[in-house]
Amino acid sequence: MINYIKGNVKLKFNDSILVVGGNLGFKINVANIDKFLLDSETELFVKGYVRDDVYVYYGFNATNEYELFESLLKVDGVGPKTAMSILAKIPMNELVGLISKADFAKIKTYGISDKIAKKIVVELANLDVDLSVEGSSIPDESIEALKNLGFSREQIVAKLANSSFSTPEEYIKFFLKKK
């Protein structure tokens, strides 16, 4: 089973991307398709499932996102499609906060059923997910400035993760050009 892939994004579909690495292509479901640019290099942590005779892969930019997905799968009634849908609708840091506050009503406002929202809050009450960005060399000033412009931390990190500039301004300019 594949657990990690590094390659180029060759195609984008509604909720998945085709990543080509080592002369092999893998269709990987992702929570936010907008994080990925065609012909850009990406690294993903991958969770695979066998359903009937089909291999289905789910990809994540960071291990904490992967861990949250795994936690959601432990909730009775939440399968991989539902877990991915939840991650696509609710920003990760907000979801962890809502779970810790037991705010199932707010989770429901994202289109999650009452029953599943309650189960998530109850079964993941002691959820411990690290929301820090691993290995990020992006200056905090750049992240804060872009967050003030309305972008989420996940969007910022996804687009700037493999970038290396000398000033925070260069990170911001590069991000806005790629937007």
Give pLDDT tens digits for 27-71: 999 998 888 889 999 999 999 988 888 899 999 988 888 999 999
- Amino acid 131: pLDDT: 52
What are the residues facing 4 on neighbouring strands?
A: 45
41 C-beta neighbours (distance < 10 Å), count: 13
- Amino acid 135: pLDDT: 44
Residue scoring higher pLDDT (18 or 173): 18
- Amino acid 27: pLDDT: 96
Q: How confident is the model at residue 98 (pLDDT cuts 50, 70, 90)?
A: confident
Tell me which architecture the domain covering 63-123 has in CATH. Answer: Orthogonal Bundle (1.10)
Q: Does position 152 have pLDDT exceeding 60, yes or no?
A: yes
The beta strand positions in the chain, using DSSP E, are 4-12, 16-21, 24-30, 41-51, 54-60
Domain boundaries, given as residue ranges, for the chain: 4-60, 63-123, 140-178
Whether the CB-CB separation of 17 and 11 falls below 8 Å is answered with: yes
CATH superfamily of 4-60: Nucleic acid-binding proteins (2.40.50.140)
**Is the pTM for the entire model greater than 0.75?**
no
Mean predicted lDDT score pLDDT of the chain = 85
